């Protein structure tokens, strides 16, 4: 493929060399921009359109950034947040009344369980 499209693809490939590209954070930013565009179409507030354009600009900035380490760190913060949010949906976090130790208990609809603290042995009852 050495036609015009081939040259264009090659040029783009060369341009992207050493640049960060896309990641999950960029996807989230772009989805947020689309949501803002839809809200703008519904409510007609110019601030929504401006914010949407800024988000798209941010996504492009991150995609073409050569500071890959910093962009990866930003993405890592998002991934960590998402995995914590996922964890919180599956578990309750309680604090031991004896020693304030955090204890993770799996969620089960409306059951009452006896929890015993692995650190100090205090027992307490919780509805999970």
Closest approach, Cβ 24 to Zn ion, in A, equals 37
> Would you say 55 and 36 are in contact if contact means Cβ atoms under 8 Å apart?
yes
Closest approach, Cβ 119 to Zn ion, in A, equals 5
Does position 103 interact with Zn ion (CB under 5 A)? The reply is no
The residue (of 33 and 103) whose beta carbon lies closer to Zn ion is 103
Does position 97 interact with Zn ion (CB under 5 A)? The reply is no
Reduced 3-state DSSP string for the chain: CCCHHHHHHHHHHHHHCCCCCCCHHHHHHHHHHHHHHHHHHHHCCHHHHHHHHHHHHHHHHHHCCCCHHHHHHHHHHHHHHHHHHHHHHHEEEEECCCCCCEEEEECCCCCEEEEECCCCCCEEEEEC
Does position 119 interact with Zn ion (CB under 5 A)? The reply is yes
Q: Pattern 19-48, binding to Zn ion, x per CB under 5 A?
A: ------------------------------
Does position 101 interact with Zn ion (CB under 5 A)? The reply is yes
Residues in the site for Zn ion, rule: CB under 5 A?
96, 98-99, 101, 117, 119-120, 122
């Amino acid at each position: 493929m050495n036609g015009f499209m081939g040259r264009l693809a090659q040029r783009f490939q060369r341009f992207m060399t050493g640049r960060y590209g896309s990641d999950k954070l960029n996807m989230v930013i772009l989805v947020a921009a689309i949501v803002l565009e839809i809200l703008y179409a519904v409510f007609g507030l110019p601030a929504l359109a401006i914010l949407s354009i800024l988000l798209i600009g941010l996504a492009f900035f991150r995609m073409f950034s050569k500071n890959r380490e910093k962009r990866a760190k930003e993405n890592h913060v998002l991934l960590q947040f998402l995995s914590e949010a996922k964890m919180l949906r599956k578990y309750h976090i309680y604090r031991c009344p004896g020693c304030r130790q955090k204890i993770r208990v799996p969620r089960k609809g409306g059951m009452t369980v006896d929890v015993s603290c692995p650190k100090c042995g205090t027992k307490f009852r919780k509805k999970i």
